[in-house]
Amino acid sequence: MPARKRSAAEVDLGQGRRRSGRISSTPQKSKYFQDSESEDREDDAPPPKKRGRPSKATAPAEKKKKRIEKESDDEDEYNEDEKSEEDQDDGDEYNDEKPGEEENGDDDEDDDDDEDAPPKVRIVPLEKMRDTGGVDYEDNKIHKNTLLFLKDLKVNNKRSWLKSHDGEYRRALKDWESFVDSAMLTAIDVDETIPELPVKDVIFRIHRDIRFSKDPTPYKPHFSAAFSRTGRKGPYACYYIHCEPKSSFIGGGLWCPDKDQLAKLRRSIDRHPERWREVLNTPELKRIYLPGVKPSADDEKAIEAFFDKNQSNALKKKPMGFDADHRDIKLLRLRNFTLGTKIDEASLASDTAQEKVAECFRGLEPFVSFLNDVVMPDPNREESEDDDEDGE
């Protein structure tokens, strides 16, 4: 048979005070109401009487207290009358505010709907592109509209302006890319070590990196490209074209070489100074890139002119490991090894633009090849500098 359930203890409901229905094994009284009872007793207990006569200030204080209580009762009655009137007004205000609350609810619903809505698209009107003036775009030269675009960009170097002139920018960029393709073939004819690479590997972006710059302008007001054995990047010396209205130039060399390359260059200056004098006194190089040096001038004049072109980034003092009275201390202080010549941008827009590029590259070829032999010597070349040093 299943076990019988024990019935709960009977509770006397007739008493006014609630009793605990919990079954206890001891006759001890519940302490549930102990704290409250003690608090009630303490509140009901009269204050202790003081010995001696009551102070005179006590009676007026009690009278004053009774008077304040009477006034407060009158004020309570007055406040209750006002409250009944205000309740009616508040009810009207609440009813008046209901439509506003409903409108706010609708606004919240609209906000929820806006979150699911597609993002807003801002339409920027495009400016009308320039007329070609009857002159077609050609690969071997730069169109005059490209130069005008760069001129306008220099004055209006803002993102909003370039967005509104996006068509003009893309047309100018395409024109520059086609010109660079032709210039690459010209460079290959001058220097056979230059490979034919995609145009994206030799041109520089027009966007500036302004993260650590004090100049907030977002774009470069020029087009540029560099031709080397690895394109615009890499350890090799390069040929460089810079197209900018009133500031165009062609040059090349090594710009800010790394630590290892700089050590090789200084070692070459220290051990083989005659090679530097020989290459910097090449007739075509002096005529194009060192025009201030006369053909019959001393070899040291070319060294001084080369230093003047690169002294902006040179060391203030001698480099570590060399004497301050070294014969070629000026060359040892250099951290850039470049040459450049200014050209008229109109020459890049003429039919003989590639001839001008070839002339400048040809005068620079001995210098670029010499730098590459120093920083990146060809291991298969018999007359490399490393072999000469081993012979010594």
Indicate the pTM of the whole model.
0.67
pLDDT of residue 126: 75
Give the residues across from 342 on adjacent strands. Answer: 249
∠ Cα 346 350 356 (to 5°) = 85
- Amino acid 286: pLDDT: 96
Residue 93: what pLDDT?
A: 41
The SS3 call for residue 258 is: coil
Dihedral sign of CA atoms 197, 199, 203, 209 in order? negative
In this prediction, residue 289 carries a pLDDT of: 98
Residue 367 φ then ψ, to 5°:
-70, -45
For residue 387, what pLDDT is reported?
47
Torsion of CA 367, 373, 374, 376, to 10 degrees: 120
214 phi, psi to nearest 5 deg: -80, -15
- Give the SS3 label for residue 184: helix
Q: Which residue has the tokens 């609630």?
A: 18
Task: Specify the pLDDT at position 375.
Answer: 97
Residue ranges of the chain with per-residue pLDDT less than 50: 1, 9, 11-14, 32-33, 58, 64, 70, 72, 74-110, 382-387, 390-392
For position 341, what pLDDT does the model report?
A: 98
pLDDT, residue 81, reads 46
pLDDT 10s digits, 149-168:
999 999 999 999 999 999 99
Q: What is the pLDDT of residue 123?
A: 75
Q: Kindly list the domain boundaries of the chain, sorted by start residue.
A: 125-255+337-350, 257-335
CA 102 distance to own-chain centroid? 45
Residue 312: predicted pLDDT: 93
One-character DSSP codes across 121-152: -PPPPPPPPPP-TT----TTS--HHHHHHHHH
H or E segment and range at residue 12 = none
Q: Which residues contact 362 (CB under 8 A, 6 or more apart)?
A: 190, 284
For residue 340, give the H/E element and its range.
Answer: strand 337-342
Token pair recorded at residue 188: 């290959």
